[in-house]
Amino acid sequence: MKFTICPAKPEDCKDIERMIMELAVYEKMPDQVKISHKELERDGFGPNPFYQCVVAEVPEEHMSKDGHTKVGYALFFYTYSTWKGRTVFMEDLYVMPEYRGKGIGKALMATVAKVAKEQHCVRLQFSVLDWNKPSLDFYLAKGAEDLTAKEGWHFLRFHGIALDNLAQEAP
Amino acid sequence: MDFTIRAATLEDCKDISRMILELAEHEKVSDQIKITQRDLEQDGFSKNPFFHGIIAEVPEHFKSRDGHTKVGYSLYFYTYSSWKGRAVYMEDLYVMPEFRGKGIGKALMAKVSQLGLAAGCTQLNFTVLDWNKSSLDFYRKQGCWDVTADLGYHCMRCEGDALEHLAQGDL
């Protein structure tokens, strides 16, 4: 099946919002999505964007059951390792279920990796839920390492009241 | 003990480089450090910096045994959650051993939180090694939660040959 991978435009944000929700449903946490296409438009397009995004699109004749031609996306941003330097973090990688198995996920991830290399990044990092075996298998097959399993890294987070309380102690 | 927390400048890169190495030694991985003072200068103080830094400094009469007044730092950057929007990631938090227990680490972290909230972030994220009990205890006491333990997210990485092959699309 033919498809294209292109940098996202502001008008893609409604489709990205739709697919973010589909991914959250898959990850069993749909109630956790708090942002909409408005925040995506504000934060992704401008002189200092918080993220970059690429979208996979199919021609009209292959549109989805619900009439969509934007069928996958990858959302990523630049980060930094004080050991190794410039890195990229892939926040989301998603392909609508009816379009899987056609190389779209692989092409999206390859695009992110290519952009990373062009910007002299030495690592591509992301996170996966431990029960998500299809995704874990997909990534491990591409040479990714599971740093939590291998080295014991844990993600920690402050949010809500704990974050407010912490900020109030700033000198 | 008196100390100040301020934004890092280009001139601080020499001390940041020194303290990055000290932190790597504490994490038992000092042979992993590939970046230099020059990389920090280029990547942190250009038009589109990959990171931001804050420094903890003590007055001359409290300088360290080795004569340093810059005794702690935190290195952070802005990221994006497709569920919650703007976020801040704290890559490093470090205080020289002889200056611990004086509130410097907490002040650095509080400052990152304050800056993050001011920029519209709703999360402060970071990672900790599961064997690093003293750091885990410190963070838990401040009210953070362990996303890996609670939700099962694993940190994944592609680098070296795996990243090359991914970028070239040959998998």
Q: Which of A124-128, B55-59, B76-80, B135-139 has the least mean pLDDT?
A: B135-139
Chain segment A56-95, per-residue pLDDT in tens:
999 999 999 999 999 999 999 999 999 999 999 999 999 9
Contact B144 A162 (CB under 8 A): yes
- Please say if the pLDDT value at position A46 is more than 50: yes
- Please say if the pLDDT value at position B171 is more than 60: no
Bigger pLDDT: B16 vs B162: B16
A26 is catalytic: no
Element (H or E) spanning A149, and its range? helix A147-151
- Please say if the pLDDT value at position B115 is more than 60: yes
Q: How far apart are CA A129 and CA B79, in angstroms?
A: 19
pLDDT confidence tier of residue B140, bands split at 50, 70 and 90 = confident
Q: Which of A87, A155, A161 would best serve as a mutation to test chain B binding (most B beta carbons within 10 A)?
A: A155
Chain segment A21-36, per-residue pLDDT in tens:
999 999 899 999 999 9
- Residue A118 is predicted with a pLDDT of 92
Element (H or E) spanning B42, and its range? helix B37-44
What is the arithmetic mean of pLDDT over A33-43? 95
- Please say if the pLDDT value at position A47 is more than 80: yes
Q: Two tokens at A3?
A: 């498809």
Chain B residue with CA closest to A17: the answer is B82
Query: Measured between CB atoms, which of A92, A131, A155 is closest to B82?
Result: A92
Return the closest-CA partner of residue A126 out of B132, B109, B159, B30: B159
- Residue A151 is predicted with a pLDDT of 87
Chain A residue with CA closest to B87: the answer is A50
Q: Can you state the angle between helices B160-168 and A104-118, rounded to 10 degrees?
A: 120
For the question of an ipTM over 0.95, the answer is no
What is the arithmetic mean of pLDDT over B126-143? 88
Query: Measured between CB atoms, which of B5, B86, B144 is closest to A157?
Result: B144
What pTM was computed for the model?
0.92
**DSSP state at residue A138:** H
Q: Two tokens at A103?
A: 């190389």
pLDDT confidence tier of residue B163, bands split at 50, 70 and 90 = confident
State in Å, rounded, how far the first CA of chain B is from the last one.
Answer: 56
Chain segment B62-111, per-residue pLDDT in tens:
999 999 999 999 999 999 999 999 999 999 999 999 999 999 999 999 99
- Residue B170 is predicted with a pLDDT of 53
Chain A residue with CA closest to B6: the answer is A171
